[in-house]
Structure 1
Amino acid sequence: MTRRGWVGDSLIVVVVLAAALMVLPAGGAAAPSQPRLCDVSSGRQFPRAEPGEVGLDPAALADAVAFAADRNRVNIQIFRRNCLVAEGPRNQETGNLAWNNWSIAKSVTSLVAGLAYDEGRLGLDDPIGKYLAPGLGDAAHRAITVRQLLTETSGLLSATVSEGASGVVQLDPDVVAQGLGMPFAYPPGSVFEYNQRAVDLLAAVVEIAAGEPFQDYAQRKLFGPLGIERSDYYWARDRSGHTYGFSFLLMPANDLSKLGLLLLGGGSWAGERIVSAEYLRMATTPSPRNPCYGFLFWLQAPGCESASLPAGIFWMSGLGMQNVFVVPNLDLVVVWTGAFGNRSGLGPIGTSQNTSELPHSFFRLLSRAIVDVVVPDLGPYVEPPLQDPDVSDYADASISLAIFGIGPAAYPGCTLFECLGLRLAPPAANWPPGCAIVVCTGTDPRTPGIKPG
Structure 2
Amino acid sequence: MGRFYGFLAGIAAVSLVAGSVFAGSAQANSAGQVECEVSSGRQPERAAPEQVGLDSQRLAEALAFAGGRNRLNVQIFRHNCLIGEGPTNDQTGNVAWNIWSATKSVVSILAGMAWDRGELDIDAPIDRYLPPGLGDEVHRSITVENLLTETSGMPVGVLTEGITGVIPLDPNSAVQALGVPLVNPPGEAFSYSQRNVDLLAYVIELAVGEPLQEFAQRQLFDPLGIARGDYYWARDRAGHTYGYAHLMIPPNDFAKLGLLVSNEGRWGTAQLVSQEYLRQAHRPSARNSCYGYLFWVGPACTETPAFLPADVYSMAGLGMQDVFIIPSLDMTVVWTGVFGNRSSQGPSGVVQNTAELPHEFFRKVFAAFYENPLPDPGPFVEPPVRLDPSRFVDSNILLAVFGIGPSAYPGCNVFACLNQPLAAPFADTAPGCVVLVCLGPDPRTPGIR
TM-score of the two chains, using structure 1 as the length reference: 0.92
The runs of 5 or more residues in structure 1 that have no matched partner are 16-30
2:16–2:60: 8 Å Cα contact kept in structure 1?
no
1:158–1:195: 8 Å Cα contact kept in structure 2?
yes
Greater shift, 439-448 or 97-106, is seen at: 439-448
Q: Percent identity?
A: 55
Cα 1:374–1:318 shift into 2, 3 Å: closer
Greater shift, 77-86 or 378-387, is seen at: 378-387
2:165 is equivalent to residue 167 of structure 1: yes
How far the C-alpha of 1:388 sits from its partner, in A, is 4.8
1:75–1:88: 8 Å Cα contact kept in structure 2?
yes
State the one-letter code of the partner of 2:382: E
* Counterpart position of 1:430: 428
**Of 261, 264, 267, the match for 1:263:** 261
Cα 1:438–1:94 shift into 2, 3 Å: same
1:314-344 CA-to-partner distances (Å, cap 9, x unmatched) read 1111111111111111111111111001112
Cα 1:198–1:373 shift into 2, 3 Å: same
3-state secondary structure, aligned to 2:315: strand
3-state secondary structure, aligned to 1:46: coil
1:160-200 CA-to-partner distances (Å, cap 9, x unmatched) read 10001100121100111100000111111111111000000
1:214-245 CA-to-partner distances (Å, cap 9, x unmatched) read 11111111111111111110100000011001
Cα 1:388–1:235 shift into 2, 3 Å: closer
1:252–1:449: 8 Å Cα contact kept in structure 2?
yes
* Counterpart position of 1:141: 139
1:323-381 CA-to-partner distances (Å, cap 9, x unmatched) read 11111111111111110011123232111111111111111111111225633323322
How far apart in 2 are the matches of 1:217 and 1:303?
A: 31
Cα 1:10–1:198 shift into 2, 3 Å: closer
2:299–2:307: 8 Å Cα contact kept in structure 1?
no
* Counterpart position of 2:341: 342
How far the C-alpha of 1:401 sits from its partner, in A, is 0.7
**Of 9, 16, 27, the match for 1:11:** 16
2:110 is equivalent to residue 112 of structure 1: yes
State the one-letter code of the partner of 2:423: A
1:40-63 CA-to-partner distances (Å, cap 9, x unmatched) read 110001111111111111111111
* Counterpart position of 2:401: 403
* Counterpart position of 1:443: 441
3-state secondary structure, aligned to 1:439: coil
3-state secondary structure, aligned to 2:63: helix
1:102–1:319: 8 Å Cα contact kept in structure 2?
yes
1:309–1:378: 8 Å Cα contact kept in structure 2?
no
* Counterpart position of 2:183: 185
Instruction: Point out 4+ residue stretches in structure 1 off by more than 6 angstroms.
Output: 1-4, 302-305
3-state secondary structure, aligned to 1:419: coil
State the one-letter code of the partner of 2:418: L
2:299–2:312: 8 Å Cα contact kept in structure 1?
no
* Counterpart position of 2:364: 365
* Counterpart position of 1:69: 67
* Counterpart position of 2:215: 217
How far the C-alpha of 1:383 sits from its partner, in A, is 2.0
1:117-167 CA-to-partner distances (Å, cap 9, x unmatched) read 111111111101110000000000000011110111110122110001100
3-state secondary structure, aligned to 2:323: strand
1:286–1:301: 8 Å Cα contact kept in structure 2?
no
2:390 is equivalent to residue 387 of structure 1: no
State the one-letter code of the partner of 2:355: S
Q: How does 1:282-293 map to 2 (within 5 A)?
A: 282-293=280-291
State the one-letter code of the partner of 1:61: L
3-state secondary structure, aligned to 2:16: helix
RMSD over aligned Cα, in angstroms? Answer: 2.0
State the one-letter code of the partner of 2:219: K
* Counterpart position of 1:23: none
1:379-431 CA-to-partner distances (Å, cap 9, x unmatched) read 3222223215151x211211111001111110001121110111211011011
TM-score of the two chains, using structure 2 as the length reference: 0.92
* Counterpart position of 1:327: 326
How far apart in 2 are the matches of 1:270 and 1:61?
A: 28
2:299–2:309: 8 Å Cα contact kept in structure 1?
no
2:351 is equivalent to residue 352 of structure 1: yes
2:197 is equivalent to residue 199 of structure 1: yes
